[in-house]
Amino acid sequence: MTFHSMWAELLPIGRSSASGGYRRFAWTEADADCRAWFEQQARGRGLAYETDRNGNQWAWLGDPARGDAVVTGSHLDSVPDGGAFDGPLGVVSAFAALDELRRRGARFTKPLGIVNFGDEEGARFGLACVGSRLTAGALTVEQAHRLTDAEGITLPQAMEAAGYDPDAIGADPHRLDRIGAFVELHVEQGRALDLSGDRIGIAGAIWPHGRWRFDFRGEANHAGTTRLADRRDPMLSYAQTVLAARREAELAGAVATFGKIAVEPNGVNAVPSLVRGWLDSRAADQESLDAVVGGVKKAAREYAAAHGVDLDVERESFTPVVEFDHALRDELARILATGTDLTVPVLGTGAGHDAGILSGRVPTAMLFVRNPTGVSHSPAEFAAEDDCVAGVTALADALEGLACT
Ligand code: HGY
Ligand code: MN
Ligand code: MN
């Protein structure tokens, strides 16, 4: 199995023939096919394979009970119409790096783990990193059991339908005790490496970020016969709030996105009764993020009042700022600088990752692979094969430096 052949095997799973984008949502058939692929790769390499109580998949070389395993991996699920690299590049590179180390005759002095964290994107149930949050104790069983998708299917129902026990989920401290270091390789979701001309980067920090649901409730009515003065139209308040979010983000040097909307009754010839919009906002520091979200909420309240519309806002997902482990970050930089002629810049990112959720509980680090356009969460997401191969080499060097004599 080469990087290329693994990539080719995974590529068609959950891919839309119309857009070329992916729809690998938690506990769906595409997710099951990705999981089957992971298990096949693990067993095909003679690794001990297991799925943990939260549905995360693990493949072990050596005995993780030693407590100092070096673990690598990422996620296989996607956003709606996502790209091929976000997540899978880290999982495929993990197996390819192990193959490379075996070719080098590397002697492992620590256990090695490869992981696929479930439901990282939160595309179906709205919360990012469900698998790693549950395992890290950053999400309670009650909170997880309340998660519901757009069709009204709860997370427990979806897990059960996929053959998993939703009553078994929960914090897994003993599993985290097995991990001495976690290194996640990920396609860069930005252009820093393209602009610097480097193939590989190391993550310094992840911006604080979250997701807020804005419910604007007005009055359904006939689009053709209702006088403008008589309307309580929630779409107007929503539209003004979207523009306010852009203004607030520009003021704070942050980002804010209303990328998902649900309208009831969603008829061309009906004034809506409900407009539900989801805000994703991220900033370099908590104070800036609070300023953006506070400003958007204030504007939304004013616009709702002006149109006689009711407003509810609920925070559905939040991840505080992540500062990756400095010692591990610097160790990786040292290893990569000596192993190859790579200069390896340290990058900040606004993208969330399972490594961010584990950070603070176990030493974590991330390696980024150059993305020439920076585009992500889109079928256009891309990384050149030679950069991906450079990523495998860098990951193999890192794992060798951390887990082998
Ligand atoms: O949203 C994110 O940053 C990640 O892709 N889950
Ligand atoms: Mn993503
Ligand atoms: Mn990702």
Contacts of 149 (CB under 8 A, 6+ apart): 124, 125, 158
Rg (alpha carbons) of the chain, rounded to whole number: 22
Q: Distance (Å, rounded) from C-alpha 74 to C-alpha 189? A: 15
Which ligand has an atom closest to residue 22 CA? 2
Percent residues over pLDDT 70 in the chain: 99
pLDDT digits (tens, 9 = 90+) for 106-159: 999 999 999 999 999 999 999 999 999 999 999 999 999 999 999 999 999 999
Give the rounded distance of the alpha carbon of 38 from its chain centre.
Answer: 18
Which atom of ligand 1 is least distant from the CA of 351?
3
Give the rounded distance of the alpha carbon of 291 from its chain centre.
Answer: 24
| Domains of the chain, each with CATH number or no CATH | 3-207+321-403 (3.40.630.10), 209-319 (3.30.70.360)
Return the closest-CA partner of residue 191 out of 347, 367, 386: 347
Which atom of ligand 1 is least distant from the CA of 377?
5
Mutation pick for ligand 1 pocket among 189, 278, 349 (CB with most ligand atoms within 8 Å): 189
Contact 104, 145 (CB under 8 A): no
Strand partners, 61: 112
What's the half-sphere exposure (Cβ side, CA atoms, 13 Å) at 12? 3
Mutation pick for ligand 1 pocket among 78, 121, 281 (CB with most ligand atoms within 8 Å): 121
pLDDT score, position 339: 63
The residue ranges of the chain whose pLDDT is under 50 are: none
pLDDT digits (tens, 9 = 90+) for 177-199: 999 999 999 999 999 999 999 99
Which ligand has an atom closest to residue 381 CA? 2
* Ligand 1 pocket residue status of 121, Cβ below 6 Å: yes
* Ligand 1 pocket residue status of 351, Cβ below 6 Å: yes
**Count, residues in the chain:** 405
Q: What's the CA-to-centroid distance between 173 and ligand 2, angstroms?
A: 25
pLDDT score, position 360: 83
Predicted TM-score (pTM) of this structure: 0.94
Return the closest-CA partner of residue 318 out of 262, 271, 375, 356: 356
Which atom of ligand 1 is least distant from the CA of 120?
6
CA distances from 171 to 11, 54, 130, 142 (A): 32, 9, 11, 12
Contacts of 103 (CB under 8 A, 6+ apart): none
pLDDT score, position 340: 67
CA distances from 38 to 50, 68, 273, 368, 374 (A): 11, 23, 45, 22, 27
